[in-house]
Structure 1
Amino acid sequence: MVTALLCVLVALPARSGAASRAAVVPDTSRGHYAGHVGYVGTFNIYGNIGHRGDAGDWIRDEADTISELTLGDMDRWLFIGLQEVCQAQGERLARELGMRSAFVDTGTDCADGQPYGNALLFHEAVRILPPALLPNTDGRGGERGIICAVVRAPESPESPDGAYRSDGSGRSGPPVTACSTHLSVGRTRDRERQEQTEFIHDDWKPDGTHPLGADGPVVLAGDLNAPPDARELDVWYGGDGSEASGPPESGPPYTRPTYDDGRKIDYLFTWGERGERSAGRWHRTGTRRTVNSDHSFYYSELSTGTG
């Protein structure tokens, strides 16, 4: 098995990320739900095979359209998970969106020599957890990894003193463990993917002592390379978890396909702290197609309310 170097890098935002174009997902008259947490997104950006490590203006274009989803207000985003990302691409997207980034190197170089792996974009982290490589039973197909950070939601816009402040003190919501991951690909890798999901949900102790979820409910974004009714996803569709599109579908066709061939293989899951039920409810779930990747940008709003 290849031993990969794991690294975490934080990029400071270069600009606010606000956009002036009309939003494609306008707000509703009901306003924010009680216990508002924020928007979450996941995006396999096709950064190596599709772009060979290039972090050019296509990244800026993606940032502009992501910002449009919340009327240009990036403070409403809790986090965004990226997969198939070369290090500089994740860092630039974070800067364009006015966010920070953490990165896990899974041990494969991009075409231009950059580290390759997964990234997590967020505004403010209470703590970045030590990343991990996922089980890779036979050592085929390269390593897969996961990167997580404990983040806080922004203050509700209805609060007396406004929303997120640049020093992070406006993010006063409960802690949430935000994660980005990418599971093994291939029809012969079902068992390996099951080992990977069980490792993340049940076995992984990021600090060597406490399981994932000890710091607050888990919200996981990722390319899982499996359809919703695949057995390996049962652990996350179980009684303590929920996915942004609802119960597992047995399609095709799928309500919200995330891959060019019509499959749903990208997900947003949440489950509670140990012994607790799901972190909340999903609202306004959607996908946005792009010419820059063979995956769609998949997103939803998470709340702890009942709206």
Structure 2
Amino acid sequence: MTTRRTRRRGGARAIVLALLCVLVALPAGSGATPDAAAAPEVAARANVTPGHYVGTFNIYGNIGHRGDAGDWIKEEADAIRAVGRGDMGRWLFIGLQEVCEAQGERFARELGLRSAFIDTGTDCADGQPYGNAILFHSATRILPPALLPNTDNRGGERGIICAVVRAAGHQGPTGPQVTACSTHLTVGETKDREREAQAAFIRRGWKPDGTHPLGTDGPLVIAGDLNAAPDAPELDVMYDGIEASGPRESEPPYAFPTYEDGRKLDYLFVWGARGAARWADTGTRPTAHSDHDFYYSELSMGIG
């Protein structure tokens, strides 16, 4: 949610921003092997093992922590693990926003997951790249990340990172899969038009493969800080999907506020499932180290 003064990169950096992502393997001795290259052309299947948690968390990594990847991350990771009763196998993926690169990597290590990261072109206070991350057990591919529309052409670029992920224990190209994304829309009371353009880009305008919009080939889950309340017109296109807290809320008090002042700014949307998609056990967990709560829900979808 927080604003920040940003410094634009040079032309060479801008050229590679939309292609930059980092895949982090599990810690040594975990028994897992990287598999993002195992089936690079496999599309997201229209099913996913039912009953797995997804979550989203704006970690306040730069303004709040100035890039520090210290033990506060272990404390937050331990609390996230407790949501699934200590079993990270119950998680499908977690989206992180306001992330300095090393912070996303440490969250992944603490949770026994892999991660992918997008650098949106802003330095953290300690010089690290800054952006969004996604944490998961395994992926058949990482989609080329993208920067979101910046209609006023000012600093503070926002981005989206997606991976075709699988639930724990599913290996090989035929396991149930879903396209999972982490994103962060522009902040500001005067930025509703820009957020509208960013939401439309994510939902219908972005073609990661150059041909098909995001989510065309199977179920899609968006996790992110959208910096707008549920009744904001700029989120109309997002509510084509099913949100974890249920029907669109028109005013506070919200069922699941996610920001420290009582607003709901963080979301979990699902589109494109065969059969009914169902959210259950939705909740928020207040955090000691961020101005946002951790927002989570258990997702089930039809198989087939």
Normalising by structure 1, report the TM-score: 0.84
What letter is aligned with 1:183? Answer: L
Displacement of 1:277 in angstroms is 7.4
Inter-partner Cα distance in structure 2 for 1:37 and 1:201: 25
Aligned to 1:8: 21
Cα drift, residue 184 of structure 1: 0.4
Q: Where in structure 2 are the equivalents of 1:1-307 lying within 5 Å?
A: 3=14, 5-6=17-18, 7-14=20-27, 36-154=50-168, 164=169, 168-169=170-171, 173-238=175-240, 241-272=241-272, 280-304=277-301
**CA positional deviation for 1:215:** 3.6
Q: How far is the alpha carbon of 1:302 from its aligned partner?
A: 0.3
Amino acid at match of 2:23: V
Q: Secondary structure at the match of 2:236?
A: helix
Equivalent-residue separation in structure 2 for 1:277 and 1:52 (angstroms) = 44
Equivalent pairs counted in the alignment come to 272
- Cα offset for 1:253? 1.1
CA contact (8 A) 2:275 2:301 kept: no
Mapped partners of 1:197, 1:189: distance in 2: 12
5+ long unaligned stretches in structure 2: 1-7, 31-47
Task: Output the amino acid matched with 1:294.
Answer: D
3-state DSSP of counterpart to 1:191: helix
Q: Give the % identical residues.
A: 70
Cα distance in 1 for residues equivalent to 2:254 and 2:108: 30
- How far, CA to CA, are the matches of 2:268 and 2:137 in structure 1? 19
CA contact (8 A) 1:42 1:297 kept: yes
Distance across 2 between alignment mates of 1:290 and 1:50: 12
Aligned partners of 1:76 and 1:197: how far apart in 2?
A: 29
Q: Give per-residue Cα distances to partners, 1:146-195, cap 9 Å, x unaligned.
A: 000001234xxxxxxxxx2xxx5289642200000000011111011011
Tell me the residue number matched to 1:158: none
Q: Shift in Å at residue 140 of structure 1? A: 2.4
Report the secondary structure of 1:68's partner residue.
Answer: helix
**In 2, Cα distance between the equivalents of 1:5 and 1:134?**
11
1:277–1:193 distance in 2 versus 1, CA, 3 Å: farther
Shift of 1:305: 5.2
Would the aligned equivalents of 1:176 and 1:215 in 2 still touch at CA under 8 Å?
no
Which whole-Å CA distance do the structure 1 matches of 2:227 and 2:89 have between them? Answer: 30
CA–CA separation in structure 2 for the residues paired with 1:112 and 1:64: 25
CA contact (8 A) 1:87 1:117 kept: yes
What letter matches 1:283 in structure 2?
A: A
Between 1 and 2, higher relative CO (CA 8 Å, sep ≥ 6) is seen in: 2
User: Following the alignment from structure 1 to structure 2, what is the Cα–Cα distance between the partners of residues 245 and 184?
Assistant: 22
Within 1, Cα distance between the matches of 2:200 and 2:188? 18
CA deviation string 1:97-151 (max 9, x = no partner): 0000000000000000000000000010011000000000112241000000001
Letter in 1 for 2:145: P
The 3-state SS of whatever aligns with 1:188 is coil
Aligned partners of 1:55, 1:204: CA distance in 2, in Å? 32
Cα 1:173–1:283 shift into 2, 3 Å: farther
Alignment check: 8 A CA contact 2:118 2:145 kept: yes
Please give the per-residue CA displacement for 1:79-98, whole angstroms capped at 9, x wherever unaligned: 00000000000000001100
Q: For 1:100 and 1:13, how far apart are their aligned partners in 2?
A: 6
Deviation at residue 217 of structure 1 after TM alignment: 0.8
Residue identity in the other structure for 2:143: L
